[in-house]
Amino acid sequence: MTAPAPTSTSGYSPGLEGVIAGETAVASLEDGLRYRGYAVGELAEHCCYEEVAFLLLYGDLPNRGDLTDFRRRLSGYRLLPAPVIRALHEMPRSVGGMDALRTAVSIMAHHDPDVDKNSLEANIRKAERCLGQIPLAIAEHYHHSKSLPAVPSRVDLPFAAHFLYLIRGREPEPDEARALDVSLILYAEHDYNASTFTARVVASTESDLHSAVVAAIGALKGPLHGGANERVVDLLKMVGSIDLAERWIRDALAQKMRIMGFGHRVYKAGDVRAGILKPYTQRLAKAAGFAELEAIADVIENVMAQEKNLHPNVDWPAGRLYHALGLEPTIYTPMFVMSRVAGWAAHLIEQYRNNRLIRPRSLYIGPKARPVLPISQR
């Protein structure tokens, strides 16, 4: 048995900040965000979410035939097993969306014919089933929480349009579907973030894909990773009006209030995804009658840059976009899962293909060696 490496303070980085923890061909942040070499801005401009999900799972963008087949497979998986539906309906209506989704994915595993298979082909099939079923689980729980009947799924709508239909019960306008589609592209993948790393740790033990996705959902539920977009509109409404915006944000900073949707562990000069999504948010917000909220958001952005050198991350425009689409904050982070599962699955497949158990060391800071005294002497 190989002796453990000696404990050392050299190279220790709290939170693993800046630490290279593995190799990946899925995404890069070094030259702007790229998925498998493609700039995310170009993907958002020229592709739909299904094309990007295909890229992440299969390694390259699909041709027309590939995309047609991929969409047909995903549409064919738009059916939740009856036990998943029953479980969602048996939950208290107060159960949060992420808690419900975590449970739903776990139960989905019991009914996946490939659950115990770990080949590349089986894991891709499981990933595609997750892409087909997770939006349905989100919508099923949402309607249950509102004591409303579920909206039957359809096979003829693209991914983003279908989700809006499931939630709202009517087909979205093309510009609504496109805006949501772009947001899903931008959320689909992001290197070794907390939930992706969690998923890869689970996969490194040779556990199954659904277990890794459940663990990733648990990591994403935490407010320091997912959830910031849920708080954006509440913050803007707290301001009250455009006339009060600058004073409000300066007072908030003086009180050391945390402003959700700003700053990023990796992007110090601003998140490219926020800039890509902002025009879509502004157009839909104006059409929905939320122009003043957008004006308040601009003031806050300017003051945050001036006073703190902090810039928006993708959650800042995404929260406003989802509000303009008439979606409730309780489903914003589950929607993050709906998008990111493609990226998680790509990383899991990569981990399985060239696996090594992820087992880091810790830096011990407890008491020095000491003897155990008999109880009579303590």
Q: Which residues are catalytic?
A: 264, 315
User: Is 3 buried (19+), middle (13-18) or exposed (0-12) by CB count in 10 A?
Assistant: exposed
CA dist list (Å): 234 to 36, 100, 230, 259: 36, 23, 8, 11
Q: Are the CB atoms for 208 and 118 separated by under 8 Å?
A: yes
**Residue 191 carries which side chain, given as an amino acid letter?**
D
| Among candidate residues 375, 159, 174, the one with its CA nearest the CA of residue 287 | 174
Provide the 3-class DSSP secondary structure of residue 142: helix
Kind and range of the H or E run holding 27: strand 27-28
CA dist list (Å): 2 to 5, 16, 123, 323, 355: 9, 25, 33, 55, 19
φ/ψ of 30, rounded to 5, equals -70, -35
Task: State the DSSP string of 282-309.
Answer: HHHHHHTT-HHHHHHHHHHHHHHHHHH-
